[in-house]
A and B are shown apart, each in its own frame.
Chain A
Amino acid sequence: MTAITAPETNEKKSFLNVERILLLLAGVFLLVNFFALAFIRSGFGITDALQLVVWVVCAAAGQWWLERRLPRRDMLLFPIAMFLSGWGLLLINRLTQPFADRQTVWLVISVGVMMLVAGFPHPLRWLRNYRYILLMIGLVLLVGTIILGRNPSGFADAPQLWLGIGSVFFQPSEALKIILVAFLASYLAEQYPALRAEEMSGGRRFLNVSPRIYGPILLMWGMSVVILVWQRDLGTAILFFIVFLVLLYVASGSTFILASGAALILIAGVVAYKLFAVVELRVDIWLNPWPEADGRAFQIVQSLLAFAAGGIFGQGIGQGSPGYIPVTHSDFIFAAIAEEWGLLGIIVVITCIAVIVTRGLRIAISQRPQSFLSLLAAGLSMLIAVQSLMIMAGVLKVIPLTGVTLPFLSYGGSSLLISFIIIGLLLRLSASED
């Protein structure tokens, strides 16, 4: 039905391929904005310039490595990821300058790990064969976080989602995303014939759904509830559950699964609304933030004000006031973009993420012959898609706010690293070597 998008590798003579052109354009964008920011700030420090240099080195090294290792890769994924992460870096520098150095280090690590994933022999087979070990590692991380979790801010009240060694913090739930998707892809790839057989049986299949389907659903649902209850991490819980539902849907082809899953989310939502203050708060201020604009709904109201203040063309880098939004560099970076680059910037971000997701799902289709690879590509793409949609729709008050990061753009090392690993895996899948 859909043609495999073959990467253009036949024109090797030309120095400029799609990837390099896009990286150059991204570099120009960053350079222009870098100087615009320097102009507004009347000058720039050596570390500010160094961040830009590091980005250029990462882009060049990554491109060179991919060219060597995966000549038949998707040509859009890497430059778009670099574009967004470079933009994010610049924005973090603009919003909370001291955090940008740390994020730059994470960018180096992330691109390095992505290169490892891209160059590692048979990482996908590895993912599949050692899935139970991976799952164990994931569960250990989860339990470890529940027991030992901390928050880098040090506030006792904040969600304890991080594991720390010294001053370096990592969010295990981020790694858990990839591990779970890999595990599920592998599990569902095995169960796939049975799942589809039930679809074939037709007739009254809504009534006699086998434990093969609802078993894992309930398991995942339970796990999401655990994350929610013990960690108060609403965003991650919902993200896990939705991505899992989507994978099950792809494997089984049953719309009933989507419906029942959505019902479970609603039930969990209602129960959580009654039980957890954090969920109640999120829903209340989603329904009507205006009366509490200077109280509990301050953040979302400031976020919407940022969108309005940005208008269509934006205020320009360094010239808006996104600083009024608490933690703008992390969960609300989308609103900061809206204020300074306007609706145009927002559409660019949405388009870029949409392109990544589209390419990822295309890869999933092109890998149809191998169920595991297809499901893995679909799951990884949907991780990016669902997480982006949750936070973008959240800061725009389309859905209740759930605290997840915007992939590539938000401040946060774990998030950036995992996003780049996803890109590495998708590149690998697009090169279809395994």
Chain B
Amino acid sequence: MRSTREINRLLLGVLAGFAIVALAAAYWAIFGIDTILTREDNPRLFEAEAAILRGDIVDRADHLLATSTIGEDGSVSRNYEYPETSSALGYYSLRYGTGGAEAAYNSILRGDNRDFTTQLLHRPQVGTDIKLTLDLGIQQQIAQALNGRVGAVVVMGVPNGEILGLVSLPTYNPNTLDADWEMLIEAPGKPFFNRALQANYQPGGTLQTLLMAAALLNRQPLETVIENATDTVQLANVDVSCAVRLPEMALTLRDAYAFACPKPFEELAETLDREKIQDTFVTFQLNRPPSLEGFVPQPATGASVTSFPLITTDNLVENALGQGNLTVTPLQMAVMAAAIINDGNAPQPYTLAATRAAESDAWIPVEAIRPTIPYANANTARQLQDLMRSAVANGAAFNAARPNIDIGGHATIAYSGDETQAWFVGFATIAGRQAISVAVVLENSNDPGLAADIGGTVLAAAHEALRQN
């Protein structure tokens, strides 16, 4: 039979077919990993995720805040021990992903940095434990003091910048997140929105501290008596008045600051003029809100004065009184207070203190260089400290005072639309250069005294917690 040629051709064709199959398999095996394997409907992702034993989260004193346990059916569940920490820790859900610290340190907690052999041998993925700078006691004091009010509190350690307390209300129960999700995303208070870090509030009277810095730098007299200092300032949309109700009277600039009366600051802004005000605001980084690793992204490099909503002669008064287009976050105000108590040098906030690898007992501190940012010279900073101390001693922030603790602060009101927010920004010194700064904001509140009271409670709690080590 003369069929050798045909059979050889067949063989060639068949082998070509096998080669095509092998190439197709190689294509999916090599390129599929980054393309189709990452599809959301790949059940393997879900399965692999569910099998990861996520790392624990502990506070600075080793209190266990969040942990993962393996159930009898082999599934891993995430448990949060304290409701007071939920707005800082966030959540971890197979279905809805991560939020808060769970999102910020997701890769560490998952243990994604596994070496090649561990992956090749299919050893179960066990995450790394993390120690946060948060203090459970402070968190609980904040939650108790806020007592369910809508608002936010940030507590920062000075001089290092560790975040000791971080609470935003309303919040949610991360243990029942999957069941509550639909309700939570519709909830009017936006519980997933971390007000302490993300909310852009009208600063209102809190900017008076910066105006005082500008006044000091430009040698404005603080003791000159100003007539009609308690008058209401009428802006285009809103009438701005003192933080506490005062009779019509004359005040020095120092006293006007203590009671957060806007009228003298309107005059001060007009006296100092646009450029000096803007210079001070830029020096205090109002145009560059602080970043917080994982939580708040780094501002784009090169962002400078030009990206700042320029203060013009038209909106000078509005912006100087914190009622213009300039907004701040509570974290930003906590950093400002920290800079003041740290002799003008702003510490950079952080939350991750240490990590502990799986199957290890040793915490490895997270070493990072976080240079302070100069906001003001030491002399100005110290004068501002004294101004804030006197606002607590005899001013609108009186409720922040606590016996035997050196506390300074500034309690004010800000207006946004029909609503008002009560602010308290302050500090407490401990010993040496050690101190604490705090920012409190209460939504729908015109009671700066309450904000100051909460601030004082929180500062006292932090003072107590830090003094013990």
Give the contacts of A20-66 with B (CB-CB under 8 A): none
Q: Please determine whether A305 and B8 come into contact, CB atoms closer than 8 angstroms.
A: no
Contact of B18 among A354, A364, A370, A382 (CB under 8 A): A354
Give the contacts of B1-57 with A (CB-CB under 8 A): 1-8, 10-11, 14-15, 17-18, 20-22, 24-26, 28-30, 32-33, 35-37, 39, 41-44, 47
Answer whether A374 and B33 are a contact pair too, CB < 8 Å, given A293-B41, A321-B44, A396-B25: no
Contact of B28 among A1, A308, A389 (CB under 8 A): A308
With the chains together, A393 CA to B122 CA distance in Å? 29
Q: Which residue of B has the minimal Cβ distance to A391?
A: B21
With the chains together, A155 CA to B24 CA distance in Å? 34
- Taking the nearest CB of chain B, how far is it from the CB of A426, in angstroms? 14
Give the contacts of A313-366 with B (CB-CB under 8 A): 313, 315-316, 319, 321, 324, 338, 342-343, 346-347, 350, 353-354, 357-358, 361, 364-365
Q: Please determine whether B22 and A350 come into contact, CB atoms closer than 8 angstroms.
A: yes
With the chains together, A306 CA to B239 CA distance in Å? 66
With the chains together, A392 CA to B20 CA distance in Å? 10
The answer, yes or no, to whether B362 is at the interface (CB within 8 Å) is no
With the chains together, A250 CA to B2 CA distance in Å? 9
Contact of A196 among B2, B29, B32, B39 (CB under 8 A): B2
Q: Please determine whether A307 and B10 come into contact, CB atoms closer than 8 angstroms.
A: no
Q: Please determine whether A319 and B122 come into contact, CB atoms closer than 8 angstroms.
A: yes
Q: Please determine whether B10 and A253 come into contact, CB atoms closer than 8 angstroms.
A: no
The answer, yes or no, to whether A304 is at the interface (CB within 8 Å) is yes
Q: Please determine whether B3 and A396 come into contact, CB atoms closer than 8 angstroms.
A: no
Q: Binding site of A, secondary structure by majority: helix, strand, loop or mixed?
A: helix
Answer whether A361 and B7 are a contact pair too, CB < 8 Å, given A310-B29, A393-B24, A398-B24: yes
Answer whether A392 and B21 are a contact pair too, CB < 8 Å, given A313-B120, A316-B122, A371-B1: yes
The answer, yes or no, to whether A294 is at the interface (CB within 8 Å) is yes
Answer whether A396 and B122 are a contact pair too, CB < 8 Å, given A246-B10, A321-B43, A354-B15: no
- Taking the nearest CB of chain B, how far is it from the CB of A235, in angstroms? 16
A to B contact number (C-beta, < 8 Å): 134
Give the contacts of B169-221 with A (CB-CB under 8 A): none
Q: Which residue of B has the minimal Cβ distance to A369?
A: B1
Interface residues on B, range: 35 or more
Answer whether A305 and B39 are a contact pair too, CB < 8 Å, given A192-B1, A311-B33, A392-B21: yes
With the chains together, A382 CA to B15 CA distance in Å? 11
Q: Please determine whether A324 and B44 come into contact, CB atoms closer than 8 angstroms.
A: yes
Q: Which residue of B has the minimal Cβ distance to A392?
A: B21
- A residues with a Cβ closer than 8 A to B are 1-2, 192, 196, 246, 249-251, 253, 293-294, 301-302, 304-305, 307-313, 315-316, 319, 321, 324, 338, 342-343, 346-347, 350, 353-354, 357-358, 361, 364-365, 368-371, 374-375, 378, 382, 385, 389, 392-393, 396-398
- B residues with a Cβ closer than 8 A to A are 1-8, 10-11, 14-15, 17-18, 20-22, 24-26, 28-30, 32-33, 35-37, 39, 41-44, 47, 120, 122
Q: Which 10 residue pairs across A and B have the least CB separation, nearest first? A: A308-B32, A307-B28, A343-B29, A396-B24, A308-B37, A371-B1, A346-B25, A385-B14, A392-B21, A250-B6
Known: A305-B32, A353-B18. 7 other contacts (CB 8 A): A302-B43, A308-B32, A315-B122, A346-B29, A357-B11, A365-B8, A398-B21
